[in-house]
Amino acid sequence: MAEAAPTGVLGVFAHVDTTIQAIRELRARGFKGVTAYTPLPLPEVEEALTGHGLPKSPVRLFTLVGALTGTASGFALTIWSSLKWNLVVGGKPVVSIPPFVVIAFELTILLGGLCTLLALFVLGRLPRLHGSPRYDPRFTADRFGVEVFCPPDQLRTAEEILRRAGAEEVRA
C-alpha cells in the first residue's frame, strides 16, 4: 500500500458529484493511489474507482468456503459420532440423514457467517491501529474525502485537479 514515496494530498468535498468528478479526473490522469472517504457506501464512488481495474470484492469466496466447510463438518460430526455409538433407536438407521440435514444446515450458516466476518476484517484491513493521518472526523458526518498518494513531483498536479473539481479544502 505505502509505496516508495509516502507523500500525499487530501481534498475535502461537500458534495457527492464533485467527489466523483475528482476521482474520475485523477484516475484519468494516471494517479494510482487514490483513496476515497465517504460517510456512507456509495456505489458511484466505487464505480469511479473500479472502472479503472480495481477487482470485485472477494468476500464471497470466504463465505463460500466457510459455508461448504460448515456443511461438510455438520455431516461429518453427526455421521461419525453416530457410528461411534452404534445404537439402533426406534428402529431407525444409525446413520439417518434427514435429521442430520438440520445440523449441517445450521453449521453451514454459522461458518459461512463467521468466515464473512473474517473476510471483512482481513480484506478491509481491520482493526486498524493507525489510519491515515490526513483523516478528517467530518468524513463520518457530511464531508467526502479524496486522498492521493503520489511521488512528490506530482503533488502539484494532484492538488490542482482536486481544487478544480471543487474541493473546499486541500491539504498535504
Partner 1 sequence: MSLGEEHLPPGPRPSAPGPTFADVNRDVIRTLGTAGNLYFAWMSVVALLLALGILAWTEQIYYGIGMGGHRAPQQWATYIVNFVFWIGIGHAGTLISAILYLFRAKWRTSIYRGAEAMTVFAVLTAGLFPVIHIGRMWLPYWLIPYPSERFLWPAFRSPLLWDVFAISTYLTISVVFFIVGLIPDIAAVRDGTTGWRRRVYAVLAVGWQGTDRQWRHYRRAYGLFAALATPLVLSVHSVVSWDFAMALLPGWHSTLFAPFFVDGAIFSGFAMVLVLLLPMRYYFNLYPYITERQLDMMARLILTTSLVLTYFYTCEGFVSWYSGEPAERASYLFKWVGVYAPWWWLQIFCNSVVPLVFFWRRARIHVPTLYVVSLLVLVGMWLERFNIIVPGLGHGFYPWAFGVYLPSVTEVAILVGSFAWFFILFLAFIRVLPSVSIVEVKETIPHPVRAGHAQHG
Which parts of this chain interact with partner 1 (CB under 8 A)?
14-18, 35-43, 45-46, 49-50, 54, 57, 59-60, 63, 67, 77-78, 81-82, 84-85, 89, 92, 96, 99-100, 102-103, 105-107, 109-110, 112-114, 116-117, 119-121, 123-132, 135, 137-142, 166
Cβ proximity to partner 1: between 139 and 157 the closer is 139
Cell 457506501, located at residue: 41
The nearest distance, CB 171 to partner 1, in angstroms, is 16
Cell 484516475, located at residue: 27
Cβ proximity to partner 1: between 97 and 156 the closer is 97
Cβ proximity to partner 1: between 7 and 113 the closer is 113
The nearest distance, CB 153 to partner 1, in angstroms, is 25
SS (H, E, C) the chain: CCCCCCCEEEEEECCHHHHHHHHHHHHHCCCCEEEEECCCCCHHHHHHHHCCCCCCCCHHHHHHHHHHHHHHHHHHHHHHHHHHCCCCCCCCCCCCHHHHHHHHHHHHHHHHHHHHHHHHHHHCCCCCCCCCCCCCHHHHCCCEEEEEECCHHHHHHHHHHHHHHCCCEEEC
Cβ proximity to partner 1: between 3 and 106 the closer is 106
The nearest distance, CB 7 to partner 1, in angstroms, is 18
The nearest distance, CB 160 to partner 1, in angstroms, is 19
The nearest distance, CB 88 to partner 1, in angstroms, is 11
